[in-house]
Amino acid sequence: MEEYSCEITKADNGFILKWKEEIDEETSKNCYEVFEEKYYFSEDIFVDKELVGVEEEKVAFTDLVYGLAKHFNIPYEKYGDKNLRISWDKKGHKID
């Protein structure tokens, strides 16, 4: 089984996902993906309507989780009914 690992760092304006990719048995390179905070004011054709009006940090975190799924090869299935979906539209409860 192939082993994957990564590191997540919180930045001032989002999150940074870091990992190493092996070029060959002796060489590897450091890779980074940045998930920046952003705010969507209106529904745009390229924006998930679930993210319109959501706080900037939560949008960056949502993008990070989807990025992690991609990094760990958890696929999105176009016609599947068991895909990852993150929603920020419900009231929560305090966890002690």
Q: How much is the pLDDT for 33? A: 92
Euclidean distance between CA atoms 69 and 14, whole angstroms? 18
Euclidean distance between CA atoms 54 and 6, whole angstroms? 27
Residue spans of the domains in the chain: they are 7-71
- pLDDT tens per residue, range 73-83: 888 888 888 88
- pLDDT tens per residue, range 22-69: 888 889 899 999 998 877 665 555 556 666 667 788 888 888 998 898
